[in-house]
A and B are shown apart, each in its own frame.
Chain A
Amino acid sequence: QLQLQESGPGQVKPSETLSLTCTVSGASISTGPYRWGWIRQPPGKGLEWIAAIYYTGDTAYNPSLKSRVTISADMSRNQFSLKLTSLTAADTAVYYCARLHRHGSAWYTVDPWGQGTLVTVSS
């Protein structure tokens, strides 16, 4: 059974960089056809897609965050990671890692999701 588990700091200071890792079990991220990605949800608010990566190295980013985000993968560890720079309080959210299913020429549905990790940006 596919499982995804996020790990990283629960609190980060403003202007610093957030680093999160997703460990995948039950499937390999080094083969297709699925992508792997990150979505976030500020407390009490809606969902925002952040980034996606394919085993070929292809990446896709939300333009609203692209200048601050890097997604990468470590195939040997079956993990993928997110870096988000120049943090502000607006980046406080639950960060989910997930498997993404690309539908032909369209883009991604998301399933399953990890349990999520709350990241608070505060001094």
Chain B
Amino acid sequence: DIVMTQSPDSLAVSLGERATFNCKSSQSILSSSNNENYLAWYQQKPGQPPKLLIYRASTRESGVPDRFSGSGSGTDFTLTISSLQAEDVAVYYCQQYYLIPVTFGPGTKVDIK
């Protein structure tokens, strides 16, 4: 299985400031045939199911605010919230869908400082 790791485990950021966190896969999830990275990001607010934010490492799902952006390639990926809002308090998970079984990282918890 591809193992996904995330860092940090948690972070606290002031409202309006930038939040950046990382995801690493145990092997490359970049397709050589189409140059796509099969990496998604999810947001899980307390008491709610996860919600898909980004796929293909950097493509925002419809309706996701543009303060969320994804980057990276191969094995190293980053999710950035450019200006943290109160409603962004959540756990963020990365997921690879390059190989079965699809696997998720352990999550990064984001709080307000």
Contact = CB atoms under 8 A, between A and B. Distances in A.
A binds B: yes
Interface of A: 45-49, 60, 62-64, 96, 98, 103-116
B52 A111 contact: yes
A11 to B, nearest CB: 20
A105 B56 CA distance: 13
A46 B105 contact: yes
B49 A103 contact: no
B75 interface: no
17 contacts: A46-B105, A47-B104, A60-B100, A64-B101, A96-B49, A103-B55, A106-B98, A107-B99, A107-B100, A108-B97, A109-B52, A109-B55, A110-B40, A110-B52, A112-B52, A113-B51, A114-B49
Contacts of B104: 46-49
What DSSP secondary structure best describes chain B's contact surface? Answer: loop
A46 to B, nearest CB: 5
Contacts, number: 68
A12 to B, nearest CB: 21
Contacts of B36: 103, 106
Nearest to A65: B101
Interface residues of B, number: 29
Contacts of A47: 50, 93, 95, 104
B49 A49 contact: no
Contacts of B95: 47, 109-110
A103 B50 contact: no
